[in-house]
Amino acid sequence: MGINKKSIFVFAEQVDNRITSVVFELLGKARELSEKLNAVVVAVLPGYQIAELPKDLYAYGAHKVLISDHQALREYRTEPYTQVIAEMIRQYEPQIVLFGATSIGRDLAPRVAARIHTGLTADCTGLRVEDERLRFLMTRPAFGGNLMATIVCPDHQPAMATVRPGVMVKRLPEPDAMGELIPFEIDLTENHLFTKILETVREEGSKKLDIQDADILVAGGRGMKSAKGFEILRDLADVLGGEVASSRAAVDAGWQEKAIQVGQTGKTVRPNLYIACGISGAIQHLAGMEESDFIVAINSDPTAPIFNVADVGIVGDVFKIVPKLTEAIRKERTN
């Protein structure tokens, strides 16, 4: 029992005892890295009454699950989670530790990195192991997405990274996959570093389908002119079975919610189909959607940069083309 070879840790973030989607993406990536490094993939799972969760972690690629089931870990708080993860790292000495770049991961990872004195690379969009020297290379956008930087952590262990949700690819789940469960006991006595949770409030409107889970996205930008302008995009999304997304310009203008914003300061998406309507294609936006399988851009400005990443670009008026397209698709679907 235990971990007696090199390992890659994946922080198995859960909220309300549901594993956050990015964890499965990280497990897929960790499995790929583990083959080259001859390492085991260990999902590290802090929480309370979480006995049901390891099976999904095995299904998506974890060889082992290091579980810490403790009442103090029921809801995320920085200090008890930091204590658990730091202690697990000290005890098992993994080579690599991966976190989702979620609002929990981006809070926890730096605290852990500072405590165990190691490097942390934020918001990675690429992770790989070199062929010969086997260095672990972390790639991330810098300067608002204008540059890509490749970063190593040569003299400290483990190398730690937070990874943008929606970038890495999940493995096909193997529901019958089995792994080894390793319980991890820890004393979590409250000290001055503990914060108190006075209240937790789920916010309305946030329970809609996450744009990161949608296979088809119809996105609008400044060219949609108003909140009302987005209605034709909703119609198109509905007939395609997709969701509506937004550029930053339309969010800043108050036409759409931040939750559906795509881009450097919003979400990264990689749907099968991304239809960009009235979006000029600022680099900040492209950073969040250019990995989509098939990109259609509709814009009246033939010089808009969005056409540089589009598989199909239509130069024209969105308010004329989109309703006709919706109608044509509806016709196709009923035939």
Partner 1 sequence: MNIIVCIKQVPDTKEVRIDPVKGTLIRQGVPSIMNPDDKAALEAALRIKDGMGAKVIALSMGPLQADAVLREAMAMGADEGILVSDPQFGGADTWATSATLAAAITKLEYDLVLAGRQAIDGDTAQVGPEIAEHLGIPHISYAKELRIEGDEVIVKRQFEDRYQLLSAKMPVLVTALSELNQPRYMTPRGIFEAYREKQVTHWQRNDIPVESENIGLKGSPTRVIETNPKVMKAPGTKIEEDVEKSVQYLIEKLKEKYIL
Q: What is the enclosing helix (H) or strand (E) of 84? A: helix 78-92
Smallest separation, CB 224 to partner 1 (Å): 17
Smallest separation, CB 212 to partner 1 (Å): 10
Distance CA 39, CA 41 (A): 7
Which of 10, 309 has the CB closer to partner 1?
309
State both tokens at 224: 């949609």
Which of 8, 314 has the CB closer to partner 1?
314
Distance CA 285, CA 249 (A): 10
Which of 175, 254 has the CB closer to partner 1?
254
Smallest separation, CB 115 to partner 1 (Å): 6
Smallest separation, CB 325 to partner 1 (Å): 5
CB 289 within 8 A of CB 311: no
Smallest separation, CB 179 to partner 1 (Å): 28
Which of 65, 275 has the CB closer to partner 1?
275
Q: Which residues contact 312 (CB under 8 A, 6 or more apart)?
A: 294, 295, 296, 297
Smallest separation, CB 64 to partner 1 (Å): 26
Task: Name the 3-class secondary structure at 12.
Answer: coil
Q: What is the enclosing helix (H) or strand (E) of 30? A: helix 21-37
Which of 88, 298 has the CB closer to partner 1?
298
Torsion, Cα of 304, 310, 313, 319 (10° steps): -70
Distance CA 60, CA 270 (A): 19
State both tokens at 204: 């309305």
Which of 185, 203 has the CB closer to partner 1?
203
Which of 143, 187 has the CB closer to partner 1?
143
Distance CA 60, CA 56 (A): 6
Smallest separation, CB 145 to partner 1 (Å): 7
b/e per residue, 29-53, with b = 16+ CB within 10 A?
bbbbbbeebebbbbbbbbbeebeeb
